[in-house]
Chain A
């Protein structure tokens, strides 16, 4: 979705220059929340303040909102037959392959030393095997990251 937003905002509409768009995207990905809405809010705010931010966010939400309601309604009308169930199984098999591919791409970018590998493995085991609260692992990850950078900077200074 981001490449599409980038092309529209920078090249077609010329609302932001390339450099600010790169900042906007990196901040959208760093902050929590829905990345597309983060980007929309930023761009809308830059161009037209609060009203712009609201308009841009609604613009990015509404298609999802409408399509999902239509899809749920449609599935209710058709009912669950064996073809639909089979199609869902096929789609899920493909989707799990695609998500695994995304995870591997992310791992190549984010797992670069022992510390990050350990944090990755511990998180995976805690959530996938022991069903530990995701909120707890996110908060722990943030605190450990701050501690790690703090100690590393202290060491670099010394």
Chain B
């Protein structure tokens, strides 16, 4: 993969990444996978790392992929690639979008993208779950035919506890993540 190809890959991610960080994850994953850059396992490690470090997930991902490819040059190329569409759009188009907010094309686009974005966030959750809770692809015959060996009991338990903590309490998510990291270090 040349630096130009990597720049284009991340530029495209920045240009089509609607709905913010989490919704961008499936888009980023497919992109880096097409280039044979990362396994599902490695990608979800990156997502995990992004959640315990500050900053936008897409920038974290770009820096990570680029740095692994060719050090500082790669990191810079990929990060600029993912940043430029945001920058250009907000600099030149923001005022226009505000002006035409109620037109059919703009409000229709925004309206149509919302259910898609929600589905993409759900896909991101499944993607990360598949590399920690399960041993095989969730939507497969193998998963359901060997249910006992497909599922990792302790991570599933941690997943349920984390989810319940989010729903039932006002606990800071970062605290839940660190807690499960410490538990995982000694039990998984």
A residues sitting closer than 8 Å to B (CB atoms) are: 1, 23, 27-38, 41-42, 45, 50, 53-54, 57, 60-61, 63-65, 67-69, 71-72, 83-103, 106-107, 110-111, 116-117, 119-121, 123-124, 127-129, 131, 133-135, 137-150, 153
**Contact residues in B for A99 (Cβ distance below 8 Å):** 22, 121, 124-125, 128
A98: min CB distance to chain B, Å:
5
Q: Decide if B109 is an interface residue (CB 8 Å cutoff).
A: yes
A100 with B87: CB separation less than 8 A: no
CA distance A52 to B87 in the complex (A): 12
Say yes or no: A110-B115 contact (C-beta < 8 A), given A64-B60, A91-B177.
yes
Nearest Cβ distance between residue B169 and chain A, in whole angstroms? 12
Q: Which residues of A contact B184 (CB under 8 A)?
A: 86-91, 93
Shortest C-beta distance, A116 to chain B (Å), equals 4
> Quick one: which of B18, B110, B116 contacts A119, CB cutoff 8 A?
B116
Q: Which of A98, A110, A123, A146 has the most CB of B within 10 A?
A: A98
Given contacts A98-B176, A124-B122, A135-B30, 7 further A-B contacts (CB under 8 A): A31-B86, A37-B83, A71-B49, A90-B181, A95-B51, A123-B119, A133-B30
Q: How far, in Å, is A147 (CB) from chain B's closest CB?
A: 7
Question: Do A138 and B116 touch (CB < 8 A)?
Answer: yes
Kindly state the separation between the CA atoms of A111 and B11 in the bound complex, as whole angstroms: 29
Chain B residues with a Cβ closer than 8 Å to the other chain, count: 100
Cβ contacts under 8 Å, B98 to chain A: 23, 27
Contacts A30-B97, A96-B125, A111-B118 given: A71-B53 contact, CB under 8 Å?
yes
With known contacts A41-B87, A67-B54, A99-B128, A124–B119 Cβ distance under 8 A = yes
State which of A50, A98, A134, A142 has its C-beta within 8 Å of the C-beta of B91. A50
Q: Are A53 and B64 interface neighbours, CB within 8 A?
A: no
Pick from A33, A65, A147, A148: contact of B89, CB under 8 Å: A33
- Could you tell me the distance between the alpha carbons of A99 and B105 in the complex, rounded to whole angstroms? 30
Q: Tell me which residues across on chain A come within 8 A of B114, comparing CB atoms.
A: 110, 116
Q: Which of B63, B105, B179 contacts A64 (CB 8 A)?
A: B63
Given A98-B176, A99-B22, A138-B18: A150 and B108 within 8 A (CB)? yes
Is the CB–CB distance between A137 and B180 below 8 Å?
no
Which residues does chain A contribute within 8 Å of B55, judged by CB atoms? 36, 60-61, 63-64, 67-68
- When chains A and B are docked, how far (Å) is the Cα of A143 from the Cα of B115? 13
